[in-house]
Amino acid sequence: MNGYCLGGGLEMAMTCDIRIASANAIFGAPEIKLGWVGGGGMAFALAHSIGPSNAAMMLYTGDPVDAKKALSWGLISEVMAIEGLVTRACEIASVVAQRAPIAAQTAKINLRAAYSMTREDAIQYERDLQTICFATDDAAEGRRAFKEKRNPTFLGK
């Protein structure tokens, strides 16, 4: 993210699993200043991302926060110079793309589901997902590659 990330733009950004921003990025939920609130899940996303108190600060005041504060609150994962932003995003995407596809998809499903579960249910759900992943060809390849001290070749099977 670079520049202004306000209202619907912030809601869209909040749908991203990993968020990095330039040092000049500004984040905000200014809808309250106009007489309404966001309608795309802003409160839920902010509360889960930055905690209820920080979410309340953003939602109740409508005041923006800079990249430094967004990083300290956990709204974004990294802050960097604008010149390296796209390169860094591609680096992260490349790392994720090298992982076992089924495991990566399962990790995303697991993370999303964990938000709405009790701790005990989330642990059981994760164990169930782990069992599914262990049964894949990719998991067998991962174990072989580890044993043979080489990089795995995942096929999404």
Helix axes 42-50, 52-61, angle to 10 degrees: 140
| Residue 50 Cα to chain centre, angstroms | 12
Q: Other C-beta atoms within 10 Å of 29: how many? A: 28
Q: Which of 31, 78, 120, 141 is catalytic?
A: 31
Using CA atoms in the order 36, 73, 127, 141, what is the torsion angle rounded to 10 degrees?
110
11 is catalytic: yes
Q: Which of 11, 83, 141, 148 is catalytic?
A: 11
126 is catalytic: no
Rounded CA gap, 157 and 148, in Å? 20
Residues labelled catalytic: 11, 31
